[in-house]
Structure 1
Amino acid sequence: MKNQITSALSDFFFEYETPRQVLVRNRRVGVVCRLIQLGVLVYIIGWVFIYEKGYQSTDTAVSSVFTKMKGVGYTNNSGGERVWDVADYVFPSQGDSSFVVMTNYIMTEGQSMGTCPELPGKHNCNTDADCEGGSFKRTGNGEMTGVCVNRTKTCEVLAWCPVEDDRDVPDPPLLLSAENYTLFIKNSVTFPAFGVSRSNLVEDVDSNYISSCLYHPLSAPLCPIFKLGDIIKLSGLNFQTVAKGGAIGIVVDWTCNFDVHVKHCKPEYTFHGLYGSKEGSSVGYNFRFARHYMEDKIQKRTLLKVFGIRFDIIVQSLARKFDIIPTLTAIGSGVGIFGVATVVCDLVLLYLLPKREFYKNMKFKYTDTQVQVRPSKMSLRTDSHASPSPPQGHCFRH
């Protein structure tokens, strides 16, 4: 027993098993095999390593965006001259990565809390019975008091009075001068896996350059100052059309290869028209904004219905760097794919060629399992008439 265990362990540790191989001289099968192997090699080198960069590990950035608008607008609406600066036409004013620049507006000044008639078409009525007191309508401006105003034939409401009249939208937009406003974008990114931090104010961008540059995709692709008219044009929209309300996406793309010096890691800017004014049930983009104040101890407000362009600054990133682990993984998977050629060629040889039976005999070794049968103890006889036992070493096939 001990010798058997020792022999088994010796065979396990000191012997090597290799599969049996058969060399087949067949031109058609050989060409098929080499073509498949060539295709696999092209896939591994061209797609996995060159295009997909399978020898590198990847990381995405943690990003922060700060914005600042500059520019002054002028309007002369109904004889009222007004100059608009950044504090007036940017919402919100904290320098977020998503903000709205006002291009048109409807202003309702001197509103105070009280009772007044609704606009025609909102809550039309003929008698007080048509105005249910204490009720609201979704399109209304306040709570109905139960009174029908004969002068306007509309229900009286408790609201900020006088109510806003937004039926006549200024056309063309009042602040077309917004086309000349400028936007400054400051973006910082960090790639934690590689310990690299970058800013869109790269080595070539200093204070002197910023004071005089204006972004252009060819002549000044790294300038962080953008003219709104250029942004709209590069996004494929018309400024006068989108001034009725729309949305623009500004994409800051950080695609970096850290196998070279980090100074080559620079941002690229692209612009996309996400929403523009088109014919439909809801045209443009707008919202309401109120400025409250006190006058003669009465709280009042100026209501603005703002039409504008929404800007969304989106940062996308992908950094790569050589790593031995994905490299070995890509090589190992490629070597495994080479086995496809063997499988295909075996299928051709075993099932398609005329001499497939000959190939099967050469590839596979067939053996028969034989069982040695020993006589049963019950059949043993000790007398002289017992039948002789089969010679030792003979096998009987069932």
Structure 2
Amino acid sequence: MKGVGYTNVSGSETVWDVADYVFPSQGDSSFVVMTNFIITEGQKMGKCPELTGKHNCTSDADCVGGSFKRTGHGQTTGVCVNKTQTCEVLAWCPVEDDRNVPNPPLLMSAENYTLFIKNSVTFPLFGVTRSNLVEGIDKNYIGKCLFDPKEEPLCPIFKLGDIVKLSGFSFEKLAQEGGAIGIVVDWTCNFDVDVKHCKPEYNFHGLYGNPSETDDARASVGYNFRYAKYYMEDKIPKRTLLKVFGIRFDVIVKSLARKFDIIPTLTAIGSGVGIFGVATVVCDLVLLYLLPKREFYKNMKFKYTDTQTQQDSESIDLDSNAYKTLEANSRRAQDKDEPNVSAR
């Protein structure tokens, strides 16, 4: 991440660099860039009144000592402060007032900050490892390129304003109260061709809501968190509290690789042939037992015969065969007797 910002809050000029506006430290796949903030300086532990609307009261009876309120800033002491008509609390004082968010955002210069993404992916099944710094991307190219989906789709350097714009949101609107953007690095590769054609594609989308939603339609608008800088003053511990509004960026990597192999192909063909056989059985079951016209299908599929008629015809055939056999035997016996009569 690179970029420098400038603010002038109540006459206090400040220059913000990477160490000030990036949380956590660089190197993680998810990080926040501060675009707006509310600062509460010189807080120290003590007793002070709550903000109006947080814990209103008219007398001490309205303030239960030792209790906590979820939206409050500390532990109530049981005292009602007449000046503010709010309960007194034991907390870091003065309490933070975050009811008015600066508009326009204090760090609108974040729109011109640049982000350099380094990414690699490994396909162990194919023994291939690829980096997003593909062929043709060298030191000279990186020094002058800036990502553009049409002109420079492989450049790994992105301007934050372009990322937010490509996700469909307005940077100024997102910078005021914060938001979250997903940066998707898509590796979809075909290893039937040369491995140098395996290159990443970058896509961007909002992670909280969508650009068409209005603020009133959202349950919780923006992205923010608090952090403090502690110090000692006259041996008294103090802190400077910042409520940070920022844009959270999540780098999401997804990958898919394919390559032709004859064994899975034959397996798929065999499975398909088996499915055809099962399909025939299933179709028969449906047609024979489930369809309203199943009787018609049965008559067309099966041919019926009369079992008794078939048995009678078989008996007649057997009787005629036996008769023919007996007749043939008697003729043979008669032929043998005729020579004997002639000899006499």
Question: TM-score, structure 1 length as denominator?
Answer: 0.68
1:177: which partner in 2?
A: 109
Counterpart CA distance in 2 for 1:76 and 1:70 is 21
Q: Tell me: CA distance 1:149–1:318, structure 2 relative to 1, closer, same or farther (3 Å).
A: same
1:307: which partner in 2?
A: 245
2:260: which partner in 1?
A: 322
Paired residue for 2:21, among 89, 94, 99?
89
For residues 5-55 of structure 1, what are the alpha-carbon distances to aligned partners after superposition, in whole Å with 9 as ceiling and x for unaligned? xxxxxxxxxxxxxxxxxxxxxxxxxxxxxxxxxxxxxxxxxxxxxxxxxxx
For residues 40-74 of structure 1, what are the alpha-carbon distances to aligned partners after superposition, in whole Å with 9 as ceiling and x for unaligned? xxxxxxxxxxxxxxxxxxxxxxxxxxxxx111111
1:274: which partner in 2?
A: 207
Counterpart CA distance in 2 for 1:340 and 1:135 is 71
CA RMSD of aligned residues (A): 3.1
**Which one-letter code corresponds to 1:248 in the other structure?**
I
For residues 222-247 of structure 1, what are the alpha-carbon distances to aligned partners after superposition, in whole Å with 9 as ceiling and x for unaligned? 11110011111111111111112211
* SS across alignment from 1:275: coil
* SS across alignment from 1:121: coil
* SS across alignment from 2:172: helix
Q: Tell me: CA distance 1:146–1:340, structure 2 relative to 1, closer, same or farther (3 Å).
A: closer
8 Å CA contact 1:278, 1:284 repeated in 2: no
1:261 aligns with 2:261: no
How many residues matched? Answer: 296
2:126: which partner in 1?
A: 194
2:169: which partner in 1?
A: 237
For residues 183-214 of structure 1, what are the alpha-carbon distances to aligned partners after superposition, in whole Å with 9 as ceiling and x for unaligned? 11111111122221111111211111111110
Larger Rg over CA atoms: 2
1:100: which partner in 2?
A: 32
* SS across alignment from 2:207: strand
**Which one-letter code corresponds to 2:215 in the other structure?**
K
1:338, distance to aligned residue in structure 2 (A)? 5.6
1:326, distance to aligned residue in structure 2 (A)? 1.0
Counterpart CA distance in 2 for 1:182 and 1:303 is 27
Paired residue for 2:181, among 243, 248, 251?
248
Question: TM-score, structure 2 length as denominator?
Answer: 0.78
Paired residue for 1:294, among 207, 232, 243?
232
1:114 aligns with 2:114: no
**Runs of at least 4 residues off by over 6 Å:** 340-345, 350-353
More helix by share: 2
Counterpart CA distance in 1 for 2:259 and 2:57 is 73
1:133: which partner in 2?
A: 65
1:215, distance to aligned residue in structure 2 (A)? 0.4
For residues 147-181 of structure 1, what are the alpha-carbon distances to aligned partners after superposition, in whole Å with 9 as ceiling and x for unaligned? 22222121111111110011111111111111101
Counterpart CA distance in 1 for 2:229 and 2:28 is 21
- Runs of 5+ consecutive residues of structure 1 not aligned to the other structure: 1-68, 362-366, 369-389, 391-398
Larger relative contact order (CA 8 Å, sep ≥ 6): 1
* SS across alignment from 1:223: coil
1:35: which partner in 2?
A: none
Counterpart CA distance in 1 for 2:273 and 2:56 is 80
Identical amino acids, percent of aligned pairs: 78
